[in-house]
Structure 1
Amino acid sequence: MLTIDQATYDAIVAHAKRDHPDEACGIVAGPEGSDRPERLVEMVNAAGSPTFYEFDSTELLELYKEMWAKDEEPVVVYHSHTATEAYPSRTDIGLASEPGAHYVLVSTREHGNNDGPVEFRSYRIIDGVVTEEEVTVVPQLGSN
């Protein structure tokens, strides 16, 4: 199960709507081993595409260096689908290289960058196997 605070949820949705019709992407880092998505990092979709996303390799390397220095790890890896449901494509599954991460997909197909609900779903993707998980949005993350 993914537990995420309202502010982070809203920021991911806002990023997806803002980048529509291109796919948005980013990472939410958290303390290593905590499963707590605490620090949202919006990334550039280097592909600049409505059907594909790709992290900029230099930007991603810098983020990983920063996370290592802060004893953080990617808790959530997110991106948007602009014309299809919020379910990982074969490409998404192939790119899923963080077995401990929650893979969040936001579909903006219904309302684009206008007001209106989005489809917000989370998955675990391990060795090519996709498992959907429940998403719980809380006012703020409590302390463990």
Structure 2
Amino acid sequence: MLTIHARLVDAMIAQALNDHPVETCGIIAGPAGSNWPLRLIPMRNAAQSDNFFQFDPQQQLQVWKEMSARCEEPVVIYHSHTSSQAYPRRSDVELATEPQAHYVIIPTQHLYQAEIRSFRIADQMVIEERVRIVRQYQPELELQMVA
């Protein structure tokens, strides 16, 4: 299950609606090994396509180096689908290289009802998972982050 703060969900949806009809993309980083999405990093869709996304390679290299230096990892990898349901396409599955990440898809074909869906993708297998949107993370997470 993906537990994610409502502000992060709102930010992903706003980015997706702003970039529409081009697919949007980005990541949400969190402390390595924590499974807590904390820091949203919008990425540039180098493909500039309405049915495919690809991180800009230079930006991706820079972001991954920065995450490494901060002891973070990509907890969520997100993108939008502008004219199809929020389910991973074959290309999404083939390009999924972070088996520990939650792959979130935001459908924007009906701009007034963008609801996110989350999937785990590993070894070409797709498993949908529940999404729990919270207004506050649990106190034990905040204590872990201070330590």
TM-score range, shorter-chain basis? Answer: over 0.9
Structure 1 counterpart of 2:2, which letter? L
Distance in 2 separating the partners of 1:136 and 1:3: 5
Question: How do 1:122-137 and structure 2 match up within 5 A?
Answer: 122-137=118-133
Distance in 2 separating the partners of 1:44 and 1:120: 20
Match of 2:110 in 1: 110
Q: Which has the higher relative contact order, 1 or 2, with Cα contacts under 8 A spaced 6 or more apart?
A: 1
Higher helix share: 2
RMSD over equivalenced CA pairs, Å = 0.7
Match of 2:145 in 1: none
Distance in 2 separating the partners of 1:102 and 1:38: 13
Identity %: 51
Structure 2 counterpart of 1:137, which letter? I
Cα deviation, residue 140, structure 1: 2.1
The unaligned stretches of length 5 or more in structure 1 are: none
Quick check: 1:12 aligned with 2:1? no
Q: TM-score, normalised by structure 1?
A: 0.95
Quick check: 1:120 aligned with 2:102? no
The unaligned stretches of length 5 or more in structure 2 are: 142-147
Cα deviation, residue 141, structure 1: 1.9
Quick check: 1:98 aligned with 2:94? no
Match of 1:47 in 2: 47
Instruction: Say how many residue pairs are matched.
Output: 140
Conserved? CA contact 1:85–1:119, under 8 Å = no
Cα deviation, residue 119, structure 1: 2.9
Match of 1:62 in 2: 62
TM-superposition CA deviations, 1:106-138 (whole Å, max 9, x none): 000112xxxx22131000001000000000000
Task: Flag as ranges the 4+ runs of structure 1 deviating above 6 A.
Answer: none
